[in-house]
Amino acid sequence: MRVIAICGSPRKDGNSTILAQEVLKGAAEAGATTDIFLANDLKMRGCQGCEACNENGHCIQKDDMTALYGEIEKADAVVFASPVYMFGMTGQLKLVLDRLYAYLGADFKSSLPKGKKVGLVFTQGMPDVKGFAPYFDSVGHVLKMLGFEKPESILVGAGLGAAGGAAEKKELLDSARALGKRLVS
């Protein structure tokens, strides 16, 4: 079993990255191998809308996303983690999500291997965790269309304090590790 996390925060010690690391710890405790990828460190361009992926079955751009496709395909579960910036995921993670379009054929059938689990970790400053629920739901629908199973989510509202405040919230860390274990089971 292999579980990877793709983190969209530009902060390596940000709350969503801390929680993604905890998800991976839980997965590792359940016997999975894990790896983490920081979207902010990847060198890649956005989808060019060229539709070459519909003709070739893969994206023709040669950048860091090429290796990430391989990691996603090898993984049994993928965790997408991001703080909420401007009412949605960060631009860094959105870039990755847009490039997953390469898994959809012209008939909108996914070429992603079946049975791939997915976890979502979103942190936000807004106290009401339901405030962006329609957005989180739409991300889940996109991932399902891409061939992932129904996502399991951790949504965290205000109260984390400064960047890294999640590391001080034992219940939240426990919840993240529990998600990692569920992704393995």
- Percentages of the chain per state (helix, strand, coil), in multiples of 5: 45, 20, 40
Rounded Cα gap, residues 182 and 179, in angstroms: 5
Does the domain made of 2-184 have the CATH classification 3.40.190.10? no
What is the pLDDT at residue 164? 84
Q: Mind listing the pLDDT tens digit for each residue in 162-173? A: 778 898 889 999
Q: Please give the mean pLDDT across all residues of the chain.
A: 94
pLDDT band with cut points at 50, 70 and 90 for residue 129: confident
What is the pLDDT at residue 56? 86
**What percent of the chain has pLDDT above 90?**
82
Rounded Cα gap, residues 156 and 124, in angstroms: 6
Q: With CA atoms as reference, report the closest residue to 31 among 138, 185, 140.
A: 185
pLDDT band with cut points at 50, 70 and 90 for residue 55: confident
- Cα-based distances in Å from 166 to 17, 108, 157, 170: 9, 38, 11, 8
What is the pLDDT at residue 126? 87
Q: Mind listing the pLDDT tens digit for each residue in 70-85? A: 999 999 999 999 999 9
**Residue 161: is its pLDDT beyond 90?**
no
Domain map (residue ranges) of the chain: 2-184
